Amino acid sequence: MDTLARRETPALLSKTQRGMNRTVPSTAFGDYLETHIQRRGLGLQEFCNRVGVTLRAYGKWRTGECYPAMLVTFRICDVLHIRADELVTEAMADAIERDVA
């Protein structure tokens, strides 16, 4: 196979491959986190300190831009006193369905 054929350049990618047709991110996970942070009576900075992340990382989760790594997810559960399966099924189910569809 020719090396040029194997190399993908941005100019040759479709709009979908370049991310131009992305769907609006789901905020279900962020909404769920915010609700539980408030129920525990924590401020955002205190929550982030306990979990070991920055406010910027939390902001990305809040807006649905990305999701926490597995280890961080377990720390979130520990801080908020919720089960991992509860966090995933309640907060991430919408995002998972959107990715599969």
- What pTM value is reported for the model? 0.67
Confidence of residue 8 (pLDDT cuts 50, 70, 90): very low
In this predicted structure, the answer to whether residue 19 has a pLDDT above a threshold of 80 is no
Domains, the chain, ordered by start:
24-100 (1.10.260.40)
Position 57 scores a pLDDT of 96
From 6-15, 27-36, 43-52, the region with the lowest mean pLDDT: 6-15
62 neighbors 28 (Cβ within 8 angstroms): no
Which of 26, 30, 32 has its CA nearest to residue 82? 32
